[in-house]
Structure 1
Amino acid sequence: MRIDVYVPLVLPLLLTAAAAQVGRRLSPAPAARLLTVAAVLTAAASTWALLLLAATLLGEVPFVALESGEPGRRPPEPVPVAIAVVAITLLSLITWRLAGAVRAHRATRRALERLCAGHPADSELIVAASSTPRAFAIPGTPGRILVTSAMLGALEPAERRVLLAHERAHLTHRHAALSTAVTLAAAANPVLGPVRTTVAFLVERWADEEAARSVGDRRTTARALARAALVAQRARPGCALNFSENAVTRRIAALQTAPPPDLWSLGFAVLALAALSTFGALDATGDLLRLLSETLPD
């Protein structure tokens, strides 16, 4: 336990370093899925490792010390007390961050549900009369697409088809679930923040590729992205199709080139990192259980 309990705390750094390369070397769909799975596993493993470190303070509890056998004999300390105290502090911070992320998610869902209120349950497309150009994919059963009249008015007919295909791709492939999972992972382990940013970009790239495939024209798709970015930035950055100045430039450039060949060896390396982190946490758990079983009498 002296070594393997720390493995899940170190490996997220490697995953963060590899995330950008995965986004560039794999197609958006598999890259987004792989990074999300890896982020969730490493976040769970690192949180569990902190729990194990905190649990070593059991040896400091008087009852446990008395039950350890010989008078005056204390159980062995697998980790220093100071590290266990730091682990408890970090666990408190993780709990606070996760609670905040869950509250924000629920607030967003309630806001989106209010936008759909009053519209027929079987209507996929909702057009809202608004001077602010916006477009949303609203997950649910069924999923909805909300577009403002300002956004529709700024696009040509072919570009509107791109926009709708883009938002429909978010619903079809359940991108909201991926985004929620990686957001919670980053809340549990802030080191994974760059992974969350990469996944957010990849799901947009994924939807771009699906839109280009649907309309059969990558140039039209790129033009629609550029036009929507211009009208969106005049009102509120990032409100339509998840635009930011850097992200939209990269997305347009990607649409003007062929999709990258899938470098699956890199993908398997990312999964190996997540698996190693999980195995480290499991092995440390076994070590702690053996230590407690040896310390406490039957």
Structure 2
Amino acid sequence: MVGRSQVTSLGLSQVSSLGPSQVSSLGPSQVSSLGPSQVSSLGPSQVSSLGPSQVNSLGPSQVSSLGPSQVNSLGPSQVNSLGPSQVSSLGPSQVSSLGPSQVNSLGPSQVNSLGPSQVSSLGPSQVSSLGPSQVNSLGPSQVSSLGPSQVSSLGPSQVNSLGPSQVTSLGPSQVSSLGPSQVSSLGPSQVTSLGPSQVNSLGPSQVSSLGPSQVTSLGPSQVSSLGPSQVNSLGPSFQDVLSVPLLASHSPSLSHTAKQAKQTNIHAAICKLSCALSIHTYVYIYITKYMSPSLCYIMVG
């Protein structure tokens, strides 16, 4: 059996001349003893012959020495066998060479180990191949590194899998790149997590795609950030939402002063909404005393 020292002494031409069956017969310790230049001399067919345990034995410097064609030759099971430190050692060109099935084979911990520059190097087809659990494993810095074309390639189920902190990390340009079907897939808690600048970046077609439960989840500061064109596009949605429990989250333990303060903030937001709407819009607000739900009746004529 060829020892580690013998494997290390093989020249580049000798390594590249090894057949797939010879490469697959190497033990993990022999594979890990190969130098970066030896690993980079392996052809795609040789790399694809490596078993998961052999791939897992590669060190970060060996992994980073693989060329795009070598990385692309790895099967899903081989890609899945890479540890977090191996995944994080991949360069942007290596990451972009991964096929959709390879990207989909990455586990949540592997996806989470990708750096912002690696995430930004993913193509739209790679991003769309990520499963909901993979998307949910991305950290805020990773999410914020996605470009508009990457964000727009996310499917409704992927968008819906984003946590509140991930949604908050999206920049205005990323939010504005979301399509109507993506915006309509956002849950109430996701909509609530949007900051005023994010809400303000939504286009009329995005705003009009919001459903009743999404519209009612908007807070006073979010409503206040809406521009005239955005508010006018809300017409159909608001016609369906004839009663909105604005103070449903109030606690019975709130003092009368605290209730008045919250009612004042809500009233200010609704007044701004009323001013932004067309002259034919009438806003009627009925706030019951103490802890009865507040109802905002909005009629668009």
Identify whether the pair has TM-score above 0.5, normalized to the shorter chain: no
More helix by share: 1
> Given the two structures, how large is their TM-score scaled by the length of structure 2?
0.20
Please say which structure displays the higher CA radius of gyration. 2
In the superposition, the TM-score normalised over structure 1's length comes to 0.20
